[in-house]
């Protein structure tokens, strides 16, 4: 284990030295219940504690943390992500543990996080490399239902950064309401999230002409669903109309390198996606989307044999109440942002 850590630290150091020649790698990952082991007295949900129904303990927590670290490093392939969006986090503490008590410490990641009102106490968050990006501002964007004061869900996390070349990038991390209770029964809640995100982006685009925005997250819908097409108005690249158009980078799926980001029965689906503003398709600007870089990260170690439905399935942390000790019930997704040659 010590030799493994030394090797990883060396790889990270080489990555750090070579950063000027590399694009900015952006990653999103649903961490599948990244909880610490402590009881949160402010919440009624405490399943992920030693005495809770998931029997979550320090050994399981440390394995989870190291599995996340391993996935992040592997996704970087020698270029640790410049920015990482995460969801299903309990709090800021788990993010601090991830970046300070694993070899990620060598990359000097900083944290952007706010507590969300979600009933289970799960949040979204960002990690960013301070050697590559400077945080300008951040805020949570509340998703509210005017007709249901009791509706609680994760906030959308917004942050603005400046690159070392002086370009401003705007990031949104999403974890939209789930399909619990049925897709059709829950779709209106995702419509609310889509409308909230679209309204914020429209205001941003009006205030900052040509704003370069990157939206990422677990949308709990596919790129072909109405929440993304009709409500968010995220379209395929070939029908981009302007700098303020929103471009769905995970459609069509044939070029993403894998079938989907999560599996339900026999079927893989793409819930985890990147959507960018049309301004990032302009290769003449300082920072632009690297053509063809959108992909699903699906190394063998995140998968296992699916004996029931055949093929592969995700090596999860839990399968229902059964502890598996794997990584996540979602696969990570990636894009790269290219920097100018000079």
pLDDT the model gives residue 17: 41
CB 171 within 8 A of CB 125: no
CB 171 within 8 A of CB 158: yes
Question: Structure tokens of 183?
Answer: 């897709």
pLDDT the model gives residue 43: 81
Q: Could you report the average pLDDT of every consecutive run of 10 residues in the chain (342 residues)?
A: 50 46 92 96 88 96 97 87 98 98 95 95 97 98 93 96 96 95 89 98 96 98 97 85 90 90 96 97 86 97 96 96 96 95 64
Peptide bond into 81 cis (omega under 30): no
pLDDT the model gives residue 3: 52
Which CATH code for domain 2-338? Answer: 3.60.10.10
pLDDT the model gives residue 21: 56
pLDDT the model gives residue 18: 43
How many Cβ atoms are within 10 Å of 44's Cβ, its own excluded? Answer: 9
Q: What is the pLDDT of residues 11-49, one digit of tens each?
A: 554 444 444 458 999 999 999 999 999 998 778 889 999
End-to-end CA distance of the chain: 41
Task: Read off φ and ψ for residue 243, nearest 5 degrees.
Answer: -60, -30
pLDDT the model gives residue 342: 58
The model's pTM: 0.93
Q: What is the pLDDT of residues 250-279, one digit of tens each?
A: 988 889 999 999 999 999 999 999 999 999
pLDDT the model gives residue 15: 46
């Amino acid at each position: 284990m010590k030799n493994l850590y030394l090797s990883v630290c060396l790889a990270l150091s080489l990555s750090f030295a070579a950063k000027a020649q590399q694009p900015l790698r952006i990653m999103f990952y649903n961490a599948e219940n990244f909880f610490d082991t402590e009881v949160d007295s402010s919440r009624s949900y405490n399943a992920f504690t030693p005495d809770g129904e998931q029997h979550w303990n320090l050994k399981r927590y440390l394995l989870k943390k190291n599995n996340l670290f391993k996935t992040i490093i592997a996704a970087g392939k020698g270029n640790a992500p410049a920015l990482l969006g995460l969801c299903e986090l309990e709090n800021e503490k788990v993010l601090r543990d991830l970046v300070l008590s694993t070899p990620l410490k060598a990359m000097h990641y900083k944290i952007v996080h706010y507590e969300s009102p979600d009933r289970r106490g799960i949040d979204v968050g960002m990690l960013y490399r301070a050697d590559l990006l400077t945080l300008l501002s951040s805020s949570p964007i509340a998703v509210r239902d005017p007709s249901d004061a009791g509706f609680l869900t994760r906030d959308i996390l917004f942050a603005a950064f400046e690159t070392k070349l002086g370009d401003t990038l705007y990031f949104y991390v999403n974890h939209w309401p789930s399909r619990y209770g049925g897709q059709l029964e829950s779709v209106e809640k995702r419509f609310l999230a889509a409308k909230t995100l679209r309204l914020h982006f429209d205001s941003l685009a009006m205030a900052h002409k040509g704003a370069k925005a990157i939206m990422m997250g677990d949308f709990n819908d596919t790129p072909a669903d109405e929440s993304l097409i009709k409500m968010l108005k995220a379209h395929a690249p070939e029908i981009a109309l302007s700098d303020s158009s929103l471009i769905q980078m995970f459609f069509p799926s044939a070029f993403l390198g894998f079938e989907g980001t999560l599996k339900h029965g026999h079927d893989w689906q793409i819930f985890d996606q990147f959507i960018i503003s049309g301004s990032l398709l302009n290769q003449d600007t300082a920072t632009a989307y690297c053509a063809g870089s959108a992909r699903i990260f699906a190394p063998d170690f995140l998968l296992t044999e699916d004996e029931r439905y055949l093929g592969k399935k995700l090596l999860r942390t839990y399968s229902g109440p059964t502890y598996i000790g794997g990584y996540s019930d979602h696969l990570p997704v990636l894009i790269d942002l290219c920097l100018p040659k000079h």
